[in-house]
Amino acid sequence: MSFAVAKLNVVTEEWRPFNYTNDNGEITGIATERLKAVLDSINIEYTISSYPWARSMILTSNDENTLIYTILRTKDREDKFQWICPLIGPVKVHLYKLSKRKDININTIEDARNYVTSIEKSESDHEYLLSKGFINGVNLDVTGDPYAGTRKFFAERVDLVLQTEWEMKENLRHFKRPASDVEKIFEVKKPSDAEGCMAFGLKTDKALVDKIRKALKDYNVKHGL
């Protein structure tokens, strides 16, 4: 593969504040700006597209010229991708319920199996809940739309959502709801909170992967990350 002519297809999802489409239709965010700086530093041409997460994962796995971000590096994913890390540090997620749902009493993640949690398909949090005994279609309501789960949550069609504080703030803004409508139950601490990365599928030329790894390392050293 010639780095001078290769044009990467970069794929992501809507995940504020790291990667998202702004009001001007541009994909931006903390991780996006870092990714752009890294690729620009080595003169690689690219386009960035935002898709539902499951689609971005499939595109990356099947195409040698597709780069995905921000993807959390987990044990289940380790052997499925060529990793370029870290783009961002570990991200905290919390379990939320509606403040008025006094009937929901949860102290542990195991307790949450007694309720229905909305989750986006193929995200690391989805994989984690499956590993904790949650079942799709039973106590997991799986969606492909980043706003669909929260819409159901506010309509009381599901009981819980698992989100970062940034995601919840954005959803409250999007649905025009006050912060008092939701209650943070607790932080969900996974065995190894994963760093956020870029990644290629296994078909991609290793020399290209190494080139971008070095560029990210240089960026992180320069910016003290």
Q: Where are the domains of the chain?
A: 7-90+194-222, 94-187
Residue 71: predicted pLDDT: 96
- The rounded distance, in Å, linking the Cα atoms of 134 and 110 is 9
- Give the 3-state DSSP-derived string for the chain, with helices as H, strands as E and coil as C: CCCCCCEEEEEECCECCCEEECCCCCEECHHHHHHHHHHHHCCCEEEEEECCHHHHHHHHHHCCCEEEEEEECCCCCHHHCEEEEEEECCCCCEEEEECCCCCCCCCCCCHHHHCCEEEECCCHHHHHHHHCCCCECCCEEEECCCCHHHHHHHCCCCCEEEECHHHHHHHHHHCCCCHHHEEEEEECCCCCCCCEEEEECCCCCHHHHHHHHHHHHHHHHHCCC
- The rounded distance, in Å, linking the Cα atoms of 102 and 85 is 42
Percent of the chain with pLDDT over 70: 96
- The rounded distance, in Å, linking the Cα atoms of 219 and 35 is 10
Task: Tell me the whole-structure pTM to 2 decimals.
Answer: 0.79
Per-residue pLDDT at 198 exceeds 60: yes
7-90+194-222 CATH pick, 3.30.70.1060, 3.50.50.60, 3.40.190.10, 3.10.28.10: 3.40.190.10
CATH of region 94-187: 3.40.190.10
Any residues with CB less than 8 A from the CB of 48 and at least 6 apart, and which? 10, 11, 12, 27, 32, 35
- pLDDT averaged over the chain? 93
Over residues 74-129, the pLDDT tens digits come to 888 999 999 999 999 888 899 999 999 999 999 999 999 999 999 988 888 898 99
Over residues 139-180, the pLDDT tens digits come to 999 998 878 999 999 999 999 999 999 889 989 998 999 999
In this structure, what token pair is assigned to residue 216? 């990210």
Buried b / exposed e across 181-203, counting CB within 10 Å, b at 16+?
A: ebeebeebebeebbbbbbbbbee
Same fold flag, 7-90+194-222 and 94-187 = yes
Per-residue pLDDT at 2 exceeds 60: no
What mean pLDDT comes out for the span 178-204? 90
Any residues with CB less than 8 A from the CB of 175 and at least 6 apart, and which? 150, 151, 154
